[in-house]
Structure 1
Amino acid sequence: MSGSENTVLDAVKGFFMHNGLFLLLGTLAFAGILWLYIMNKKGKVQTKIEPVKLTKIIKGSIIGITCIMLVCNVVTATTIYNDLGIKDYQESLNKESDLYDNYYVDAKTANIQFPEKKKNLIYIICESMEMTYTDKKNGGGFKENLIPELTKLAQENTDFTSKDDNQLNGGLTPGNTTWTIAGIAAQSMGIPLNIGNSEYNRNFEEQSQFLPSVKSLGDILKEEGYHNYFMCGSDGAFAGRKNYYEQHGDYKVLDYHQAIKDGIIDKDYYEWWGYEDDKLFKYAEKELGEISKQDEPFNFTMLTV
């Protein structure tokens, strides 16, 4: 989880900022009832209500509040479970498939041929981007199209839409391919990040080998004389991304820290996860201007946020 420390703190801080008033009022009300109960037990509170009856009222209030909180939590959890399709997601993780038995091609044994004049590759990975953001007319989930330019690009080029359908369906993602590093590995290795070892999953850091027996896109391109680059607007170490790209293709990693060194952002600049995509694209344009002057072919991979 290296590189995510600030984000975790921001999430905790944000929760208290948004819910501070309710938390304060609830705590004061609960503390007041508790105080009244204790004082009553000690006989220090004089009320017109009989002590035994007051004790019952206070106990009932505490039990009532606790029950209301439990019911709210259960209702919220059930709603989230159903609305987010968690059951379907969990089932998909354990679903057996013959997809890889029938279609997987091992890059180590495949006969991959390059043209004599090799083409450069600019590969943009869009974090958390999906067809849902387009409008319903085009197969999305919104009244207004939130990604009109990407919709146009998809319609004019190759995408996952079937030939007899004019709507953008998007691709189906198998289990263990849907979080950042799993998506990166799946896209550039052709396999899910299904390690089955929680300790290994937590330590995709410099000291661990990242799927050393699998040949990736970066490995293939490096063998063909390509210079590989990876750019992102956050700490490259997060989720083992830096580790992955350096081990598979000897990528030059241009992350948040490198952007500071290159003068793209000030040393104390930090916005949410690192820095915004508009700055990232300007940084990419600047770097590509220099990289493209080289004689050797290049692969420039970048990850938006």
Structure 2
Amino acid sequence: MSGRIPHVIRRVGAVVGRLSVYVLIWAGLALLMATAVIRFYWGEITVGQMLLNLVSVETDGGGGPIVWIGVLAIGVLPLLLTVGIAALWQHVRRRERRRRGHDVRPRRSQWVKRTVATALVGAVVVGGTTAFATTVGIGDYIAAGNSKYDLGDYYVEPSVTGAEHRRNLVLIYLESGEATLADDQLFEKDAFAPLKEVTEAADGWQSVADLQQTQGGGWTMAGLTSTQCGVPLKGVGSAAGNGALHELGGEDSYLGGVTCLGDVLDEHGYRSVFLGGANASFAAKDVFLGSHGYSEVKDLSDWRAAGEPEQSFRDDWGLSDGRLMAHAKDEVDELHAEAERTGQPFNLTVLTLDTHEPVHVYDYCTVDTQNVVTSVFFCSMTQVAGFVDHMQEKGYLDDTAVVIVGDHLKHMSAGDAFHEQLDHHDNRTVFNRIWVPGEDGNSTLRPRVDQLNMYPTILEAAGMTLQDRAAGLGVSAFAPDVPAGSAQAMAPEAYADLLGSRSARFYAEAWAGGDAAR
């Protein structure tokens, strides 16, 4: 009996050992596949971006096919490959035993095979872990936790000292609206030409020269929070112990401890409406808007309910920009009429969709370039330009500020276009145009600011007077100088460290709904 116990222990140990090896193989393969999917669709991302999107994915109108590709490539394929490897290994072992007449004595050839097998397993595990860590910036995430900076030390709660000149606001976000695509020396044609024609400086439109993307802000929700809250979007990991992940999973708060654009406008009597072609639940966009002053959020489900024909939709995301801008015209007509009748100003925010890769060619778009993406950008800008023309013709620009801005630079993932032109470009910037009624367009806005500064800039365009002309981490681009002690007054290296810091205290309070400025 005593002799059987060690034998059983050895057998159990062998089984556990083999299972552990197969688990490691599966984990390595899953990480390699996750790396491949992320790099193909998004390029290098951040830990915060990954976590925020994992808790709010949508198969309908939120990148649909990408979600299923991720499930199959990351969840199913590595499991099938691991099972196949296990089955092949067992087949080889059985064949070897039959060939040797069940002689299990160790031999040199067996030692070599085990060494090679161990090396291969190690290569898969180490390779997968390293590739994934590099792709999602785990090294930067760990380093950020050691930063001496915390955003809370520089965050400015917006203080409106005057709103007697408040005016209506139309805010248009251009999906992947990178100004570099206007360079017809790099590209087949100026993708922004239609929009530039209706927003000329000679007519009173202004712009921030060389508007920079916020550090870590290369995706839509980060673009929204940068320009509407004045803070980089991150910190779910820091706030995990404070209920933030639970709140993102379906509660009614998203960065509830931060005062954003919609909150300030709501305090001053605005009615805020958002229009987007995609599913607003993707990345919890609806939660963000609903918890920051927006009373209406119209998205994919609304356009379907309105009877839009199937040809108006793209399967992966949602409604075309052509139809979205048609709805935007109707919406601004209603909002402006109501504002005239009641005296209540409005904020209409619109987010385009056509230029999200892989692009879709609608019937209103003529492809006249070798690269289809260039033509789709041009066609999308034509639709936006038509909306601006509509406001001009209706006389709305007499009392309505308009801010048009890209949500982020164009993605440079493996599956996206323009790597040759953009990968090594030394000044990639975000497209923007600003209309303030009564301005002559000759004033010079502070150049080369980042998107965080757009938050107070938008508030001032809407007619608000801000203390120190500051909000969040930004200072209005209309201000020629920045206050001493502002984040914008920091040296470039220190500012980069501040934005890269994990700022656990600030984001824990921001996500938990506390006062993040304390």
Q: TM class by shorter-chain length? A: 0.5 to 0.7
1:302 is aligned to 2:350: yes
Q: How does 1:67-86 map to 2 (within 5 A)?
A: 69-70=124-125, 72-73=127-128, 76=131, 80=134
* Code of the aligned partner of 1:111: T
- The partner residue of 2:223 within 175, 178, 183 is 183
Aligned equivalent of 2:163: 113
Aligned equivalent of 1:164: none
Distance 1:12 1:189 in 2: 29
* Code of the aligned partner of 1:197: A
Distance 1:55 1:93 in 2: 47
Distance 1:217 1:77 in 2: 35
Going from structure 1 to structure 2, the CA distance change for 1:24 and 1:302 (only over 3 Å counts) comes to same
Q: What SS class does the counterpart of residue 272 from structure 2 fall into?
A: strand
Contact 2:184–2:190 (8 Å) recurs in 1? no
TM-score, with length taken from structure 2? 0.42
Aligned equivalent of 2:94: 38
Q: CA deviation at 1:119?
A: 3.2
Q: How does 1:1-305 map to 2 (within 5 A)?
A: 1-2=55-56, 4-5=58-59, 10-11=65-66, 13-14=68-69, 31-41=87-97, 43=98, 52=107, 55=110, 58-59=113-114, 62-63=117-118, 65-66=120-121, 69-70=124-125, 72-73=127-128, 76=131, 80=134, 87=139, 91=143, 95-96=147-148, 101=153, 104=156, 106-107=157-158, 109-115=159-165, 118-131=166-179, 143-144=186-187, 148-149=191-192, 153=196, 157-159=206-208, 161=209, 168=210, 170-174=211-215, 179-193=219-233, 194=235, 196-198=238-240, 199-204=243-248, 207-212=251-256, 214-266=258-310, 271-294=315-338, 295=340, 296-305=344-353
Q: CA deviation at 1:273?
A: 3.1
Going from structure 1 to structure 2, the CA distance change for 1:233 and 1:30 (only over 3 Å counts) comes to same
Q: What SS class does the counterpart of residue 247 from structure 2 fall into?
A: coil
Distance 2:292 2:77 in 1: 50
Distance 2:78 2:140 in 1: 34
Contact 1:122–1:299 (8 Å) recurs in 2? yes
Aligned residues: 279
1:54-103, Cα deviation, whole Å (9 max, x unpaired):
6456545534543554575477458x55xx87756765676455887567
Q: CA deviation at 1:247?
A: 3.1
Going from structure 1 to structure 2, the CA distance change for 1:67 and 1:210 (only over 3 Å counts) comes to closer
Contact 2:181–2:192 (8 Å) recurs in 1? no
Q: What SS class does the counterpart of residue 160 from structure 2 fall into?
A: coil
Q: What SS class does the counterpart of residue 172 from structure 2 fall into?
A: strand
* Code of the aligned partner of 1:258: D
Contact 1:259–1:265 (8 Å) recurs in 2? no
Q: CA deviation at 1:253?
A: 0.7
Contact 1:229–1:253 (8 Å) recurs in 2? yes
TM-score, with length taken from structure 1? 0.65
Going from structure 1 to structure 2, the CA distance change for 1:24 and 1:152 (only over 3 Å counts) comes to same
Distance 1:3 1:186 in 2: 21
* Code of the aligned partner of 2:212: G
Distance 2:85 2:258 in 1: 59
Going from structure 1 to structure 2, the CA distance change for 1:113 and 1:265 (only over 3 Å counts) comes to same
Q: CA deviation at 1:241?
A: 2.5
Q: CA deviation at 1:52?
A: 4.8
Q: CA deviation at 1:128?
A: 4.5
Going from structure 1 to structure 2, the CA distance change for 1:276 and 1:201 (only over 3 Å counts) comes to farther
1:197-235, Cα deviation, whole Å (9 max, x unpaired):
124145236534445554332233234433210112222
* Code of the aligned partner of 2:207: T
Q: CA deviation at 1:254?
A: 0.4
Identity of aligned residues (%): 24
Relative contact order, CA 8 A, sep 6+: which one is greater?
2
Q: CA deviation at 1:252?
A: 0.8
Distance 1:12 1:214 in 2: 30
Contact 1:264–1:283 (8 Å) recurs in 2? no
1:151-181, Cα deviation, whole Å (9 max, x unpaired):
984996412x3xxxxxx4x325256x66544
Distance 1:174 1:8 in 2: 24
Contact 1:232–1:303 (8 Å) recurs in 2? yes
Distance 2:87 2:63 in 1: 29
Going from structure 1 to structure 2, the CA distance change for 1:92 and 1:171 (only over 3 Å counts) comes to farther
Q: What is the root-mean-square deviation in Å for CA atoms of aligned residues?
A: 4.7
Q: CA deviation at 1:13?
A: 4.2
Q: Structure 2: where are the runs of 5+ without partners?
A: 1-54, 354-518
Contact 1:123–1:301 (8 Å) recurs in 2? yes
Q: Structure 1: where are the runs of 5+ without partners?
A: 138-142, 162-167
